[in-house]
Amino acid sequence: MTLLSALRGAPLTALSLVGLSYVGEELFENLASAFPDLGALTLVHRQNDLQRRTGPSMWPGTTWEYAARLAGFTNLRYFKWNFDIRPVSVDVMCDLPLAERDYEEVESSLLEPTDDPSDWQSLARLFLVYCPTLEHLVF
């Protein structure tokens, strides 16, 4: 018997699942059908069995895939997850000459990541499209 089948039908309004190794579409479908009154959901993904600390995690899907999976939750107001949204910095071979000169010719603003508030608003809107009852989205 799985945890979800044991809890199915319980009048849960809040649920927190920590240490998930599987965060696929079926998980979201099963949660939405088992707990239709769920108002708050926290999901903490673990990348592997060695990960013990709770922190940002590289989920296997994209934000838009997970946003679509929230469509089954008709009462969800709070969704927290540890999806790692930090920007990934990648050095490419075309930067090699600049790197050899310690980037002395590049303006410092080009090296610093930008934090455009409209990016975060767009991400929130994406989740609202699929889950219009959502009031709080936490990464």
**Span 81-138, pLDDT tens digits:** 999 988 766 655 566 666 677 666 655 444 455 556 567 778 899 999 999 999 999 9
Q: Say which DSSP state 48 is in.
A: S
Query: Are 36 and 13 a contacting pair, CB within 8 Å?
Result: no
Domain that holds residue 75: 13-86+116-138
How wide is the angle at C-alpha 39 spanned by C-alphas 80 and 71, nearest 5°?
Answer: 75
Query: Are 109 and 115 a contacting pair, CB within 8 Å?
Result: no
Instruction: Give the three-state DSSP class for 79.
Output: strand
107 in a structural domain: no
53 in a structural domain: yes
Single out the residue of 115, 98, 116, 117 nearest to residue 107, CA to CA.
Answer: 98
108 in a structural domain: no
73 in a structural domain: yes
58 in a structural domain: yes
Distance CA 57, CA 138 (A): 13
Give the strand pairing for 14-20 and 78-81: unpaired
pTM of the model: 0.78
7 in a structural domain: no
Q: Name the band, by pLDDT with cuts 50, 70 and 90, for residue 16.
A: very high
43 in a structural domain: yes
CA gyration radius, the chain: 19
Instruction: Give the three-state DSSP class for 18.
Output: strand
Query: Residue 62 pLDDT > 60, yes or no?
Result: yes
Q: Where is pLDDT greater, at 41 or 90?
A: 41
User: What is the residue-averaged pLDDT of the chain?
Assistant: 85
Among 19-23, 37-41, 107-111, the range of highest mean pLDDT: 37-41
Distance CA 105, CA 107 (A): 7
99 in a structural domain: no
The reported pLDDT for the residue numbered 109 is: 44
Which residues, in sequence order, are CB contacts of 19 under 8 Å at separation 6+?
Answer: 44, 46
Count of structural domains within the chain: 1
